[in-house]
Chain A
Amino acid sequence: MCTMIVQQVQIDGSGKGTSGWFPVDRANVSYDHPYHFPLEHALNIDFVNAAQGPGARVAVELSVDAARALVNTILAVLAEADAGGHLIQ
């Protein structure tokens, strides 16, 4: 825990882990040491199901530029879907 920069957000969805699909109910977003991506620090997102234990996790580790691009892309896709009347609240 070298930066200790982490936030949790409740989510609804599914993730595909090593044992197949499972419901995810939380995303843990941190800026800290990645495990695999070759940077000292990365934007890490773990989609998890806390009740199912540590193994119920889908992980991504992103560069800062990639993380910003992803956020913008998600928002753009949602805006397009909204404009087309596809979003059902």
Chain B
Amino acid sequence: MYQTDMYEGIIAETVMISGAGGDLINAYYARPLGPGPFPGMVLIHHMPGWDEWYREATYKFAHHGYSTISPNLYYRAGHGTPEDVAAMVRADKGVADDQVVGDVAGAMNFLRTQPYSNGKVGVFGTCSGGRHAVLSASRIKGFDALIDCWGGRVVMSPEELTPKQPVAPIDYTKDLSCPILGLFGEEDRSPTKEQVALHEQELKKYGKNYEFHMYPNAGHGFFYYHVGAYRQEQAVDGWKKVWAFLDTYLATPAKTAAAA
């Protein structure tokens, strides 16, 4: 925990990384200053785009000691304000799952190749990013922790499958290779409580390490302080659960040994 006499420094900037198919895409990258070792986090932005909330979240994770990168999944759609670019992607029914998984894998590899990496990397996402986080941690080997915040369409009916989203993320559950923390709101309509229960049932079926929390009086996006969906009490508790979960699964071995 931070003490007022501690040195603190963070560097944050836009970088280019190799994404799906070797495409260069941009990403926002923030990390603590110093030699490390630091655990890594990949943040997958939500449907409204690679926006200010995600830049701030990237910085927030760095503030908590994580080398953190948020790839711009909409890079190929062109450039403008995050809203305008996201609206263009929305009109095109989103980005393809295969492309997202490739971009996230590129972000993970970027973190792992840094000299100050502690060798552990987690993935976090909200809304469509939560879905993409579940998908990525199931299809990519190498993640050590997964945080799904109210990811919709993890559970999909056959009618909802599309060429861009040909497989429901829940159908990859058996391949998930890391612990998962899920944060949801009871009033959310995507995912519904029933869909979250189905996901939990599937995780249990395959003996996965999971921790799900369903908050009352909260709906979709209760971390987003800039919109009416914000729920202060639930958001503060949710962030506490995020830091505790990551400290458990991404701490450096030396730190773990020292704490034992």
Q: Is the CB of A46 within 8 A of B91?
A: yes
Indicate whether A40 sits within 8 Å of B220 (C-beta atoms), given known contacts A1-B90, A30-B90, A48-B91.
Answer: yes
Q: Which residues of A contact B190 (CB under 8 A)?
A: 2-3
A28 within 8 A of B: yes
In the assembled complex, the Cα of A32 lies from the Cα of B152 at a distance in Å of 12
Q: Is the CB of A55 within 8 A of B162?
A: no
In the assembled complex, the Cα of A57 lies from the Cα of B89 at a distance in Å of 13
Q: Which residues of A contact B219 (CB under 8 A)?
A: 40
Q: Which residues of A contact B153 (CB under 8 A)?
A: 2, 4
**What's the least CB distance linking A50 to chain B, in Å?**
8
Contact of A6 among B80, B85, B90 (CB under 8 A): B90
Q: Tell me the A18-50 residues at the B interface (CB within 8 Å).
A: 28, 30, 32-33, 35, 38, 40-41, 44, 46, 48, 50
Query: Can you sample 7 A-B contacts with CB below 8 Å?
Result: A2-B152, A2-B153, A4-B93, A28-B90, A30-B90, A33-B48, A40-B189
Residues of A that sit less than 8 Å from B by CB: 1-4, 6, 8, 28, 30, 32-33, 35, 38, 40-41, 44, 46, 48, 50, 53-55, 57, 59
